[in-house]
Amino acid sequence: MRVFPLSLAACVLMAATLAAVVAWPGQAGAQQAAPASSAPLTQQDIARMLPATDMGAGHGHGMATYTAATHPGDTSTATSFDAASIPTNPLMPKADPIGSKTCIACHTQENIQASHSLHVASFRAGSERSGPQAACETCHGPGSEHAKNPTAPGSIIAFTHDSKTPPAEQAKVCLGCHAGGARQHWTGSIHELRDLSCTDCHNPMARVSPEGVLAKPSINEVCAGCHQDIRAKFNRRSHMPLPEGQLACTDCHNPHGTITKPLLKTDTVNETCYTCHAEKRGPFLFEHAPVRQNCLNCHDPHGSNQQTLLVAPIPMLCQQCHTMTRHPNDLQTAAGMGTGASPDERVMGRACLSCHTNIHGSNNPSGSKFHK
Amino acid sequence: MHALEAKVLIFGIGVACASCAFAGDTSGTMRVGDMQFGNALDPRGWTPMLYPADPDGMSYLHAGMLRTPTGLPYRFPPAAADVKPLGKATDWTYSGVVELGFIHVGGGRNAEFFRQYADWKSGFALGLLALDFQNAKTGQYVELRGSRLSGDDQFYRLRAGQYGRYRVEAFYRDMPHTVSTNAYPLWNGVGTSDLTLPSPLIAGASTPGQVAAAHAGSSRRTIGLTRTREGIGIEGTVWRNWIGSASVTNEKRSGTRLWGGSMFFNYPFPDNGGVLETVRPIDFRTTDVNLSVRNVGRIWRFMATYTGSFFRNNQDHLNFESPFRLYNVVGTPQVADIKYGQFSLEPDNDYHNVRLDLSRELKGNGQFTVAAAYGTMRQNDALLPPTTCTGTGGIFIAPPVNYTFNCADWNTTNALSQKNANARIDTGLIDTRLTFRPTPTFGWHANLRWYREDNKTRYLAYNPITGQYGYISENGSQGSIVPGESGIFDPRNPLLHSANVTVRNVPYGYTDTLFELGGDWEVAPKQSLSATYTFDHNQPKYRERKRVDDQRIKLAWVARSVGGATIRASYEYASRTGDHYNYDPYKQFFSESLAGFVDPVTGIAAHTVDDMRKYDLSDRTENKARLILTYPWGDSTTLSATFYGSRDRYDTQIGRQNTSTTGATLQWDWQPTPATTMNVYLGAEGTRLGISNVADNESLIGSNIGQTNPSLGGPLYPYANQWWEFDRERNSNAGLSFSHDFGRVRADVSYNYSGSFGHVGYNYASLAALAYHGPNAAAAAGDSFPDNSYRSNSVDLGLSFRFTNQLGMRLFGRYETGSFTDFHYAGFDNTLDYDHRVYTDKGPQRHYSASLVGAMLNVKL
């Protein structure tokens, strides 16, 4: 019943072989071509090649059980994955588990790749003590029908583009273990409502990202798969250091669902901003209404063509609201530039902010106009 | 380490250690920050671990890679890392990679955009150090990851744990931020809280010529800061299904930023006033504490989180010397000697937030979720005196017209009604959500959210020494130039009993109640429609409206198999209305609300034009649409595109009038084999913002009853003074990347272009609308500012050689060039001194080019 150590050994062996092959491109090319050049397998071929199941699938024996009798002397504690259950496949409700040995007989390469991912590695940890249930079928559902008829749509729970399993069912499988916590608000979130599946962002079958079992090598690349326009904003003159690798979309957003529409990790926009810009939190003796209400009134956190992520050039930004008597409401023109006919501090450099510098709020008793 | 940090650190560790058991999952995506460790050399932070790709791909059963449910291709996985046993009698194995080498940086040393968030330096660099230890039997692991470009641009992170049981993490990172490489501060003491003038300049007694001469000798400086963060965290099971997490992070932010300095206007008073661009110190320290405990059951899910944040600013003020002599505008001998300016810098603050989340599965495939939170942000910093002036401030005209004040009565904290800020804002949140999916093809949800922000700060600007109200404007400079504008209201003094000045803070706050009802239907296999109605009822405090209602309908269509493509389209329409708009709700915060205030003969000037509607409160209609298309084109190619647009119309004559955005992106991905990938993308976006404003007839101020008329078209705000302005921006992006593995050599090429163009245009009813009315005003104004633009082109080339399984070499290079123009900095290349204005930053370089070449030895450990 020690399926995994054998497969693991096979894995390591194949990895070593592959690594050697990689070093010699000519051989690597030949190795790569071999499976592709083979004639497609028929279902009879597959049935003939399949090993006997290691779980007695189809014979009413149910799942194998790890017992003291089968593993005398093992006093180590089981891992938390040992109790992982096998979900029912709604499209094949009568299918039985067959054990990963059977799966791996065909999915050899998948096994190798999955063995390197955090997800499967965690399942494997200690699994030799618990039997094979915490393996392929924990996510893909019982595989007996798939083994009998591998090309039948929906014969197992699949997580890819052509899958017959609806995204909601796919997510249900993942949430079987990953419910709560960061995913407490998945249900009803925008990503859930738009029929996204966990595997739109994650690929637990390969170690494409060294952590997070992501579908692409980094969080930002994953998000940019759909949010291309947002990613492009980060190329603008002022931006947060996302292209420079210092920041990820998930620093501010929780794609698994939150109680805010933009999937912010905090209760409001400002609370998210204050996490890094704690100096802006105050409260200040004198507050600036739009600042306290919402940082997005003046800033676009994804990127801007203006300085400091401003949504419009100053003084225009300020003059959207400041029509008050005297100096705020004059039309500033090219005449006010440093090269203009009448240089004007309301246009030049930091413009309004040259004087109203403490625009995020002032703690000075004389700071009601943010001069101090 | 500060005492506070030490305490929270010990507390965090204590909680963490008490919770060592096992956990099912981590809470990383619950906390803000530190999700990404990378740098400009390797934004992913682990790229060397991903190559070479496994030539056998993902499966022997099919060629190529499968696709995500949406249709994007999964990436070919990398070849397995060489895993080695750590010893003979252990189950531990290890793998690792170290990439170490030399970088040479060429081209413009001051290329600001090239260095904005990267501390490029010629010399040795650690590209990546990654060490992974695993015990396949127990599931225990230890991971170390690090990279170093320089002492200000590096990260190191250590993680250890056991799959499914617990995880501990510690990290250290430095992140640079260059604000300007083109700064020429006039002052000595940059980086401190006291800026002094260089010799031979004398505060309050220097001429513009002398200032310009001294400034010409200033050295170029880089303005910027470094964020240094360190943190520890642990997550594990406390008891049975109760999982706890604790983390403490500490950030030190040090450096400088560009700042201001106001000694009153210069534009209306040639050779008077002072507008100074100074430099302030950044010396912050923030400690964050995150604690959580959760229970995940089949029916109930519970989570409690505590977030604490403690900000400390080691510099509470910025003092600066102003070089210019000030004159009063009435021409009497100047009795005031105002030569210093001061800013209060951000106060220390404490933040606490406790939140409880509870979810319950319901019969009928439903779920009920409620979240409730209480938060408070507080600060009680000692207040600075209203001014730092000494001697006499203000203007003496002739007895009894004496607008002077004794600085000694105001430059002490005894001049304050309270010595500390005692500022506090409390927040409350209740969010409930009910979701049902009674049939596989139909679901509905309802959401009710209530949020309140209650500002409890109360401050009265009252001077117990003098019995006067108000403050000292611009450290005394304003009142020493314009009679009666010192900022003081005195009901006993006929000269000041009509001064309408701020005497109270405005404790802005709001209550927001949101209701949402939505449903979705699967109209066909892999096709669904959804509709959502949202009613957002906002009740701002001390704003122009007491009620703002935003109603929104959103329709969405998701089709996951339209000729193999996935389409996600949405359209939303929103309408915002509200109650009566009060153009001046602020009277209660001005001295006109105090006993003893005497209305001037000509009345009080209107606060603003009554047709003004602030854009966060005004009536508005909004239309937004978005379409995201993903099309798998054959086995190895993918086309994806986004089309989006929005149109906002504001129902107002004065203020923001409209905004619009139209954009599209197009991307082509090709990965025919594990050895080859290619990507091409294009993007374009256009935006427009239009506003209208009206210049007041300043000749009426203080002299004509017409100044009290707030009406558009009235004497103070005549139609002839109205003006319109629009900002039109165009952005375009293009890029190409190609990578091919030839066996022993992998080649990477990428090119990226980013361009933006901004045009601010305007028109006006008459010349009276203009800030500048002088000779040839119309010609000087034109119809627009010169266009702003920003363009960057970068090319990256890389060659990675594999000498053996363990040893490789990466040669790489980058060439980046760009251009920049911004009308705000026009002329600054020639001079930073304009009469009584002194600027520090010349702005980013108009043209720059920079290059980078490097060689990195790659060793698999």
**Do A67 and A117 lie in a common domain?**
yes
Tell me if A174 is assigned to some domain. yes
Neighbours of B726 (CB within 10 A): 18
Tell me if A366 is assigned to some domain. no
pLDDT value at residue B241: 82
Determine the Cα–Cα distance for residues A270 and A2; give it in Å rounded to an integer: 54
**Do B813 and B762 lie in a common domain?**
no
Q: Are B388 and B340 in contact (CB under 8 A)?
A: yes
- Residue positions counted in chain A: 372
Determine the Cα–Cα distance for residues B390 and B324; give it in Å rounded to an integer: 16
- A27 CB within 8 Å of a chain B CB: no
Determine the Cα–Cα distance for residues B630 and A182; give it in Å rounded to an integer: 28
Paired sense of beta strands B396-398 and B401-402, if any? antiparallel
**Do A182 and A133 lie in a common domain?**
no
pLDDT value at residue A24: 35
Whether residue A283 has a cis bond before it, omega within 30° of 0: yes
Neighbours of A50 (CB within 10 A): 17
Please tell me which residue of chain A has the smallest CA distance to B787: A334
- Residue positions counted in chain B: 861
Q: Tokens standing for B255?
A: 């450096």
Tell me if B48 is assigned to some domain. yes
Q: Are B648 and B574 in contact (CB under 8 A)?
A: no
pLDDT value at residue B296: 87
What is the band of B729 on the pLDDT scale with cuts at 50, 70, 90?
very high
Identify residue B330 by its one-letter amino acid code: V
**Do A201 and A307 lie in a common domain?**
no
Determine the Cα–Cα distance for residues B247 and A38; give it in Å rounded to an integer: 54
Q: Are B106 and B850 in contact (CB under 8 A)?
A: yes
pLDDT in tens, B849-859: 999 999 999 99
Tell me if B816 is assigned to some domain. yes
Question: Which of A8, A265, A321 lies at the smallest CB-CB distance from B614?
Answer: A321
CB contact under 8 A, B74 and A203: yes
With CA atoms as reference, report the closest residue to B614 among A324, A56, A206. Answer: A324
| Closest approach of B723 to chain A, Cα-based (Å) | 7
Residue B661 has pLDDT above 50, yes or no: yes
Last residue of a domain, one of A105, A126, A157: A157
Tell me if B88 is assigned to some domain. yes
Helix (H, G, I), strand (E, B) or coil at B855: strand
Residue B350 has pLDDT above 60, yes or no: yes
pLDDT value at residue A22: 33
For chain B positions 742-771, those within 8 Å of chain A (CB to CB) are 742-744, 752, 754, 756, 758, 760, 762, 764, 769-771
Q: Are A348 and A266 in contact (CB under 8 A)?
A: no
Helix (H, G, I), strand (E, B) or coil at B523: strand
**Do A112 and A124 lie in a common domain?**
yes
**Do B144 and B51 lie in a common domain?**
yes
Show residues of chain B in contact with A223, CB under 8 Å.
none
pLDDT value at residue A84: 65
What are the percentages of helix, strand and coil residues in chain B, rounded to 5? Answer: 10, 55, 35
Phi, psi angle pair for B415, to nearest 5°: -80, 5
Tell me if A363 is assigned to some domain. no
Please tell me which residue of chain B has the smallest CA distance to A312: B727
Show residues of chain A in contact with B284, CB under 8 Å.
278-279
Q: Are B746 and B738 in contact (CB under 8 A)?
A: no
For chain A positions 45-74, those within 8 Å of chain B (CB to CB) are none
Ranges of residues in chain A whose predicted pLDDT is under 50: 1-38, 51-79, 132
Tell me if B72 is assigned to some domain. yes
Residue B484 DSSP label = T
| Closest approach of A60 to chain B, Cα-based (Å) | 28
**Do B637 and B764 lie in a common domain?**
yes
**Residue scoring higher pLDDT (A120 or B263):** B263
**Do B100 and B48 lie in a common domain?**
yes
Please tell me which residue of chain A has the smallest CA distance to B53: A22
CB contact under 8 A, B743 and A24: yes
Show residues of chain A in contact with B131, CB under 8 Å.
none
Half-sphere exposure of A269 (CA within 13 A, CB side): 14
| Mean pLDDT score across all residues of chain B | 94
CB contact under 8 A, B607 and A324: yes
The residues pairing with B490 across neighbouring beta strands, listed in sequence order, are none
Tell me if A243 is assigned to some domain. yes
Phi, psi angle pair for B851, to nearest 5°: -135, 160
**Do B779 and B807 lie in a common domain?**
no
Residues 6+ apart with CB under 8 A from A83: none
Q: What percent of chain B has pLDDT over 70?
A: 97
Cα–chain center distance at B7: 30
CB contact under 8 A, A333 and B762: yes
Residue B317 has pLDDT above 90, yes or no: yes
Q: Are B309 and A277 in contact (CB under 8 A)?
A: no
Q: Tokens standing for B467?
A: 């019995």
Tell me if A16 is assigned to some domain. yes
**Do A67 and A193 lie in a common domain?**
no
Tell me if B448 is assigned to some domain. no
Show residues of chain A in contact with B760, CB under 8 Å.
313, 316
CB contact under 8 A, A283 and B707: no
CB contact under 8 A, A283 and B164: no
Question: Which of B30, B384, B461 lies at the smallest CB-CB distance from A254?
Answer: B30
**Do B643 and B715 lie in a common domain?**
yes
| Closest approach of B106 to chain A, Cα-based (Å) | 19
ipTM of the complex in this document: 0.95
Q: Tokens standing for A82?
A: 């040992």
With CA atoms as reference, report the closest residue to A168 among B533, B751, B558, B297. Answer: B558
pLDDT value at residue B125: 97
Helix (H, G, I), strand (E, B) or coil at B415: helix
Domain residue limits at B718: 631-785
For chain B positions 377-436, those within 8 Å of chain A (CB to CB) are 377-379, 381, 383-387, 416, 421, 423-425, 427, 429, 431, 433, 435
**Do B811 and B780 lie in a common domain?**
no
The residues pairing with B352 across neighbouring beta strands, listed in sequence order, are B308, B376
What are the percentages of helix, strand and coil residues in chain A, rounded to 5? Answer: 40, 5, 55
Considering its fold, how many domains does chain A have in total? 3
- B838 CB within 8 Å of a chain A CB: no
Count of H helices and E strands in chain A? 15, 0
Show residues of chain A in contact with B455, CB under 8 Å.
283, 287, 292
Last residue of a domain, one of A277, A304, A320: A277
Query: Token pair 């200000």 is at which residue?
Result: B152
Tell me if A361 is assigned to some domain. no
**Do A137 and A201 lie in a common domain?**
no
Please tell me which residue of chain A has the smallest CA distance to B82: A16
Question: Starting from the edge strand earliest in sequence, which strands make up the sheet with B468-470, in order?
Answer: B462-463, B468-470, B488-489
Angle at A159 between CA A158 and CA A162, to 5 degrees: 80
Average pLDDT on B665-683 reads 96
CB contact under 8 A, A305 and B731: yes
CB contact under 8 A, A19 and B29: no
Please tell me which residue of chain B has the smallest CA distance to A27: B743
Neighbours of B347 (CB within 10 A): 26
Cα–chain center distance at B527: 38
Q: Which H, E and C letters describe B237-280, residue by residue?
A: EEECCEEEEEEEEEEEEEEEEEECCECCCCCCCCCCCCEECEEE
Average pLDDT on B657-666 reads 98
**Do B639 and B780 lie in a common domain?**
yes
**Residue scoring higher pLDDT (A5 or B790):** B790
**Do A105 and A173 lie in a common domain?**
no
Q: Tokens standing for B727?
A: 């900002």
Considering its fold, how many domains does chain B have in total? 2
pLDDT value at residue B26: 66
Query: Token pair 């086995």 is at which residue?
Result: B635
Determine the Cα–Cα distance for residues B407 and B488; give it in Å rounded to an integer: 12
What is the band of B6 on the pLDDT scale with cuts at 50, 70, 90?
very low
- A259 CB within 8 Å of a chain B CB: yes
Last residue of a domain, one of A157, A175, A198: A157
**Do A153 and A299 lie in a common domain?**
no
pLDDT value at residue B62: 86
Helix axes A3-23, A25-37, angle to 10 degrees: 130
For chain B positions 564-593, those within 8 Å of chain A (CB to CB) are 568
**Do A138 and A80 lie in a common domain?**
yes
The region, left, alpha or beta by phi > 0 then psi within -120 to 50, assigned to residue B704 is beta
- A2 CB within 8 Å of a chain B CB: no
Please tell me which residue of chain A has the smallest CA distance to B267: A344
**Do A86 and A228 lie in a common domain?**
no
**Do B816 and B758 lie in a common domain?**
no
Determine the Cα–Cα distance for residues B149 and B128; give it in Å rounded to an integer: 10
- A279 CB within 8 Å of a chain B CB: yes
Cα–chain center distance at B199: 38
pLDDT value at residue B15: 38
Helix axes A3-23, A108-115, angle to 10 degrees: 90
Determine the Cα–Cα distance for residues B202 and B193; give it in Å rounded to an integer: 19
CB contact under 8 A, B375 and A271: yes
Tell me if B757 is assigned to some domain. yes
pLDDT in tens, B121-167: 999 999 999 999 998 888 889 999 999 999 999 999 999 998 878 99
Determine the Cα–Cα distance for residues A76 and A58; give it in Å rounded to an integer: 32
Identify residue B180 by its one-letter amino acid code: S
With CA atoms as reference, report the closest residue to A229 among B750, B72, B733. Answer: B733
Tell me if B148 is assigned to some domain. yes
pLDDT value at residue A5: 39
**Do B807 and B738 lie in a common domain?**
no
Stated as kind and residue range, the H or E segment containing B444 is strand B442-455
Task: Indicate which of B66, B242, B312, B666 best probes the interface with A, i.e. most A CBs within 10 Å of its own CB.
Answer: B66
Most confident of A94-108, B16-30, B244-258: B244-258
Neighbours of A27 (CB within 10 A): 14
- B208 CB within 8 Å of a chain A CB: no
Determine the Cα–Cα distance for residues A7 and B605; give it in Å rounded to an integer: 85
Domain residue limits at A309: 282-354
For chain A positions 153-192, those within 8 Å of chain B (CB to CB) are 159-163, 166-168, 170, 177-182, 184-185, 187-188
Question: Which of A160, A325, A368 lies at the smallest CB-CB distance from B67?
Answer: A160
| Letter string b/e over residues B235-269, b meaning 16 or more CB atoms within 10 A of that residue's CB | bbbbeeeebbbbbbbbbbbbbbbbbbbbbbbbbbb
pLDDT value at residue B298: 84
| Closest approach of A148 to chain B, Cα-based (Å) | 16
The region, left, alpha or beta by phi > 0 then psi within -120 to 50, assigned to residue A195 is left
Q: Are B336 and B404 in contact (CB under 8 A)?
A: yes
Determine the Cα–Cα distance for residues B418 and A363; give it in Å rounded to an integer: 13
Show residues of chain A in contact with B695, CB under 8 Å.
329-331
Show residues of chain B in contact with A121, CB under 8 Å.
134, 136, 139, 163
Paired sense of beta strands B278-296 and B488-489, if any? unpaired
CB contact under 8 A, A106 and B61: yes
pLDDT value at residue B462: 98
**Do B704 and B812 lie in a common domain?**
no
Tell me if A342 is assigned to some domain. yes
CB contact under 8 A, A110 and B59: yes
Helix (H, G, I), strand (E, B) or coil at A236: coil
**Do A42 and A109 lie in a common domain?**
yes
Question: Which of A206, A279, A372 lies at the smallest CB-CB distance from B346?
Answer: A279
Tell me if A369 is assigned to some domain. no
**Do A106 and A61 lie in a common domain?**
yes
